[in-house]
Amino acid sequence: MTATDIGATGAPILPETGLRQFQEQGFTVVRALFGPVEIDRLCERFAALHAAGPVPGHFEPRPADADPLRAYPRVMHPHEIDELSLRVLLDPRLRGVLEVLLGEEVLAAQSMFYFKPPGARGQALHQDNFYLRVEPGTCVAAWIACDVIDRDNGGLEVVPGTHAMDLFCPEPADAEMSFAREYVPPPPGLEAVPVDMRPGDVLFFNGSLVHGSQPNRTADRFRRSFIGHYVGRSAERIGVHYRTLTMSGDRVALPESEGSGPCGTEFERHGPH
């Protein structure tokens, strides 16, 4: 499959304008790449995983307190414990777009699922490759919206143009606003812009693009999303937290790069936020 194949809407999966936006601004959105039934099934699966209790090393819900992220933490590498998550991570539609964006065969490096319940903190502006440390080159994220996502429930914000810049040295984030400790302020002359999405839309963005989200300020709306991180087949090194697969599911071990970490170093919990 290529990015010019037909998607669920009857339109090409990645129009030429989408590729141009990715090259010039560092991101692009493919609308309705996944259908409503697929998204409902994915949300049902994660509701069941959450109800079944903790899976050490992947997610460990705690009794709820003032921080809703204790009860609904993000799920790390769900594709390693759930077959549906693996199928989504390796989906041919994602592969078709990613091969055009990266210009080569792609490897899957990570999956995540965010519940982001009402009242949850966001994640301060950051760059994904600060954590993955792909060498040479960078990673690309495929961020799948599982709910209507807007300013109220903490949708993503991106800083166009930062994909062409080097990795920044982060500043300390505001623990009242962000669950992660790293914050990269927009460079002079640039600003964060919102990316509103509907279920099934996929935001693809460069690993150097500065992006993040505000808290979920709604009383009753989750902001669920499934995220995959990918690298080109020419990548030679990646951080120790990431275990690369071909898009057929075969393990491809890459040597470790230095200075990596999980996607977002979480604040230590010293009582409610």
Q: 65 or 9: which carries more pLDDT confidence? A: 65
Average pLDDT, the chain: 92
The whole-number pLDDT of residue 18 equals: 96
Which residue in 133, 130, 123 sits closest to 158, CA to CA? 123
Identify any residues that bridge with 266 across adjacent strands, giving them in sequence order: 180
3-state secondary structure the chain: CCCCCECCCCCECCCHHHHHHHHHHCEEEECCCCCHHHHHHHHHHHHHHHHCCCECCCECCCCCCCCHHHHCCCEECHHHCCHHHHHHHCCHHHHHHHHHHHCCCEEEEEEEEECCCCCCCEEEEECCHHHHCCECCCEEEEEEECCCECCCCCCEEEECCHHHCCCCCCEECCCCCECECEECCCCCCCCCEECCECCCCEEEEECCCEEEECCCCCCCCCCCEEEEEEEECCCCEECCCCCCEECCCCECCCCECCCCCCCCCECCCCCCC
Q: For residue range 28-63, what is the model confidence (pLDDT) as tens digits?
A: 999 999 999 999 999 999 999 999 989 999 999 988
From CA 165, how far away is CA 144, in angstroms rounded?
25
Instruction: Tell me the residue length of the chain.
Output: 273
Across the beta sheet with 123-126, what order do the strands follow? 123-126, 210-213, 156-159, 193-194
Superfamily for 17-246?
Answer: q2cbj1_9rhob like domain (2.60.120.620)
Of 2-6, 10-14, 98-102, 162-166, which range is least confident? Answer: 2-6
Q: For residue range 193-240, what is the model confidence (pLDDT) as tens digits?
A: 999 999 999 999 999 999 999 999 999 999 999 999 999 999 999 999
Domain ranges of the chain: 17-246
- Binned at pLDDT 50, 70 and 90, residue 65 comes out as confident
- Asked if residue 160 has a cis previous peptide bond (ω within 30° of 0), the answer is no
The whole-number pLDDT of residue 1 equals: 40
**Quick one: tokens of 74?**
């993000």
The whole-number pLDDT of residue 64 equals: 72
Q: For residue range 163-183, what is the model confidence (pLDDT) as tens digits?
A: 999 999 999 999 999 999 999
The whole-number pLDDT of residue 194 equals: 98
**Do 49 and 87 touch, CB atoms closer than 8 A?**
no
Q: What percent of the chain has pLDDT over 90?
A: 87
